[in-house]
Structure 1
Amino acid sequence: MLTKKIVLFSLMACSVTCPQGRAAELNIGGTPDKMAMPPSSLPILPALPAAEDTSFFANTDVPHGKVEQLTYRTLDGKQKRMHVYLPPGYDTSPERRYPVLYLNHGGGEDDAHWTANNIRSGGFANLILDNLIATGKAKPMIIVMPNSRDLASGDSPKPGIEDACSSEYLKVIIPFVDGRYRTKSTRDNRALAGLSMGGFVVLNTGVNHLDTFGELFVFSSGYWPDRLRSFQENMKGILSDPKINDKFRMPIYFAAGETDIAFTNSQKTLAVFNGYGIRTFSTLSSGGHEWMNWRRYLYQTAQIMFPDS
């Protein structure tokens, strides 16, 4: 078994991250046929902002996008809500199309939390993207934040059985978004991310549908031991595919805080992917299961999304 661990540092990363004792890691394991993309062609994760840094989500004097609140009808006829961030220039560039990040909230929250401007319980996602786009650090993108409270599950779906979350995403949410907005409607221009409970949307729906989502990002989430065993059994056919790394646009991303209640589950779930030789990004931050971290993870990952868009 060939196993390599590459710790990715730059001087910038060291100056910001090292005082907190953190590093971003790119893990590469498995056999040579699972390493089709050489490490040199992979992006380097930017440093996380310091825990006390609020400047990256400040309301600064830059062009701002807008956030829309919409309702859509589910397969069983229910009305559900989503929030959608449109980047600066969307309304003034009618010919331009955009990649889409589907961003999921955690348990006890809803679709409004990712763009809420609340230091304790809000993601400031719109301001994070406004600032990154203005400085050229992130590609202009649409962010779709559905209410996934009744969709996410800590149980992985069995092979051949379409779970409720995947059905709603593939048959309702994505067609609704592609029909309403100027999206780039290909897997290479579609990412899936989620925090805590929303991380199960990524693990269950994203991993099962790599023909739909090219990039996956898991914030503060992972399976409990008994459910992790079920995940391995249910997903073995996918995870053991010798060409699995070709199906990921970039390494699957896991992040957790050192005092995060999901830290152990996150690390053990990450280890399953590494055990199959699947490339992963792994970020360990200070702090726990909190918005301070989830904002930082979004800031970090948004900068590597959609490299070819």
Structure 2
Amino acid sequence: MKNRRYEKIKSGLPREEKSKSGLEKSGKAKCPFAKYLTAAFAILIAGAMGGCTLAVPDAGEEGSGDRMIGVFITTEYLDLYDMESYLNDHASSLVNDGSITLGNDSKYEGKLFADVEKGEADSPSEWKISFGNMDGQYMLMPVSTDENGEQYMGNLCSDAINEPYLHSNVSDDSEEQELSGTIYESADGKEKVWYVNPVYQTENSEIYAITGNSYSNGGRDTEGSTMAVTLSGESTVTENGKSQKESSKVTVQFAIMYKPVKTVIYQMSDSNQVLKRDEYEPTEVPDTLKVESETAYIMEETQKESPSGKTVTSRSIVDLNSEEEETCLEAWYSLDNGFISKKDVEILH
């Protein structure tokens, strides 16, 4: 069995993994036509693939050697199936009996390969990755092999992925990995559709995405509404004549949050007196916070704005006498793409 090392991920698993407040899977998730297509439908489908998902044969299936390592989340459908070539190659079937069958021919399977910049990085978590010109958010657990043949696994996430959690369970004949994270979207009452596209890594370390299903937030505008999507995959790796099953599970949680508009940080004494008050725009919160010598705890206020314009305030407290090795605040801020993210603010005391 391969010797593989795993990087420590600090954040914990999101607690909620069930749909709340009516968030739903979009009707676009499944292909609206059957396995057999008449000639008339075939012509229409060639120009209207954007509303359907076609299964890509063999990608990540047992025995293929490709391991599912995460998801690539987009607002656009990944139209990767080469329907034009398929129709051209099966034109005789249309002429003879007026129907064709969407077969499991890898010649037409669609894969969107990623561009990976490893540079001088020792860890997969430090790679820079993109999927061509397609915009989206990714949550991955790629594997890297060093010059000594030792493998390293780490989590690689884009800016909108919060609370990443990577867990592994290894035995003599199997290996299981689980990756999860949360995407917070700004509550605006508008329906949004997300395409959750599986991502795989080949035996020679190439990374690619395939077409996934779509999911809708139902136009919800209530903070706290959540929906979780889980994908799983399994592959078999043979080494020195011994087969080992590798299974992966990836869970992405979508959560709705009001837009942060102001962050206020209070340094408090043992007697609950305010020693210092700092107010910031959410994007201007510093990476470190120097506290006063008499500060016993810190109270952070995050002021958020609901779609109706109402101000909603949430508060959190950090006890500086905590026995935790690291003490930090979580500062929320909006991204340009309608997502909300957070950063850790290190407390210096």
- The normalised TM-score by structure 2 is 0.23
Determine which structure has the larger helix proportion and give its number. Answer: 1
The answer to which structure, 1 or 2, has the higher relative contact order (CA under 8 A, 6+ apart) is 1
- The normalised TM-score by structure 1 is 0.25
